[in-house]
Chain A
């Protein structure tokens, strides 16, 4: 397929009958969805409206590009429920900032992608009650990865110009990207506005693109990145002491993406190639390292013992603490699932929440409530925050010596659904072991598909220092061009 950027050019020249294209895309979505369950809601009306606008004014850096949006990102007038039954029927009265941005650049939104309920999962097998799980595009008996399973799946199967907007808290962009054989970019925390993102863990949630190519992801990032005054945690170069490699606004991340990378220092994280990671996956990483070396990069082995051991528990504690407060608002008042107003408010809230939250949501709410209770708060919540500091410092130290870190993305190939059922809750959590480090530390990281093993995709993950997306994408592009 021709590149997305070429397609956009043709749209801008008026050489694409965009309304016709849209009808064709829409007509195939139902059957696609029947097979794969990637879309929890198809936004036919909105797609036609935006398509109409683009046909009148075919301008914009995303002109005519079809975008699917993870269900946790608010799209005005389109059912947005983070794949949870407790928000069934909820249609936001506002757009997330990223949605406004892509619409103003000519994107055509086709629907909301399925995910683990509120982001709680690594396989997208924890979709909410009554919501079908997305399946792996290469084997529908296997998981698509999570929690942005629907987004990654769509990115793989879409045979039209398409980029998805996913979201990552502990690895939810990289993981499904790896399992579905697509590129998934998680930007630095704070680079992309969280306004309109239904929160999982506010200090770790990041919206990022999932697409077929590194270039597509770079293009999308250029549009969604930037300070938003509606999000207090949005990176504001004017205010922050943070020394950013890239500076500030309106960076075109596709520019210079293909610069040669000779002389770049890439660190292979020793602990990521240890026990618990499939041999075949480790081999892929080594293959990638060899290719980078052949391109003139300097490969170094790096040890990150502290993040490797402590990032997972630290991440989960902070995540469930924040999540349990974020989910308190879902109680059958003002929006979402209602029940009849019988009983006092405690009884009512309990009824709504107990009935409509899925199992994993309940588990994480309980864990999070516990970890910040008086008497436990210091040992869990505060301790995890301090460990986060230590971990961030370790990464910062490492980036003084290397430009990027290379690891596998997932320790296993996409498992079958029946295999996943046999995993304990803790074993599920452990699947994030390779992605939680960069996520906890807010570092930008990207999954690059690196061939297949036994007919299933495998990816390698590259992580960079805060706000070093340009460098990261540059190396990623060069990995991708030689990938098997």
Chain B
């Protein structure tokens, strides 16, 4: 027979103000299997917990009901206390008589009677609870970081510096991400390359980091602590071990009119190329589509000039298999292209560019070597219009969210433009200025007051070409007037979007994304760097638009989470998981798609469903889906619930 102890908490007056706690304890003390009942002012406090421990030891209790606040607050507290007293922690249940009773009622008599019922149902639950052991899993103490932008770089370095091996996968030929494209960074205006490239070198030299550039994650199987990852190393047609990075091949390559991705189409690159001079690794790849040799079978200049014989036209994509314990998603963002904006000419006006293109223009290593020259005729623009919220905060046509970084980088653009073109006039169209951050507001104010950037509050309705001018029609909502500016150059602060293929990656990883393709965090406030799926962590703009300081902070937080995961001998997993009674299972497989965590599988040999206990989060979706009742969840069995329901429905005699 069970010996159940019931402990009723006053929670100060939170519960005792509305519920007669003494009466609850009295009423329950005669209930079936209840061997002990008492109340106390603050059960969660040290003396309160000691009452619990003492009763367990003295009366030899086999189960515990704590009638108190929500289990999200103190379930763990009392389970640990029970464990200290030698009771299995899964024989402890919380009866929530605060959020679900005292807080929502006024009538003391009725609330007390309801509290008694709640406690009784939980006594029934405890009677049916089995003692459970936590599930222990081995951990492969190696991390995979997907994405080699600043977030991925920071996460990889932090994990590697803690002594764990890291595999960093980047799909471009070089790591560096968007940060490598930036000129100077707000609010301090330090040069992006100067602060980033040393970190890129650190990555390549770190003994704990294996770098796979020009590679993509093909698929991921397994579960937290034990992932199996396949990585496709794309054929670069260059033997990266032999190549010395001398650059002669790129210099001599005759195919030179290929639009440079790194320069965002504002410069050309060769068919064999490194994206930028400071690339890491500084070794070229061949763009097969534009290579004369691959297209016509003739040429082969690069192979001829290479002094170390590194060119290998026969190279094939290579598959690498790795075992890792944890995966960091740091895949970054994209910029909504100018060609998607109807009102701004669908990208047909050459002097309408996006913010990243302007960054390249401002960059000393960019296509204009840092001089502001407009794309159409190379003239120095004297009037430049910057448009904020191009696509952001526009639920009707584009994206409802704020892209967060544009207010700051637009202020920076306007400033840098003034630094380079002293007699030029920058205008900024804005909805409102969001400059929350250390020294951010001051930075914007300086642009307005000292650099004389004209800020116009309003949106731009149309842009069109008139001769060699770009006409910008908008509204100044502070003056209540329409504005028309004959500009020389227009820079759009285009919306920051998720990577266009983030949904595909999410599917491969079985990690969740939101409606816009950004990876979802487990909790927006309290678990901001963890994905809902165990073992996956998020860093940087893959989760939401972020600036560099935020991305770096999140990457370091992620690294802390990963190293914490690696720090123990085993991973521990809650034993509240689904189970399958194989005799009852018909093998219908309805549970497999019902599981949001990919924890259900079909055993082809036994012809029954199976649960991967490590992946199971105990949500119960499969239990509800199972038609035959073969799937039951530990300590949440149908039998327990029937008992609880009939107890709740019993005529009350209190």
A binds B: no
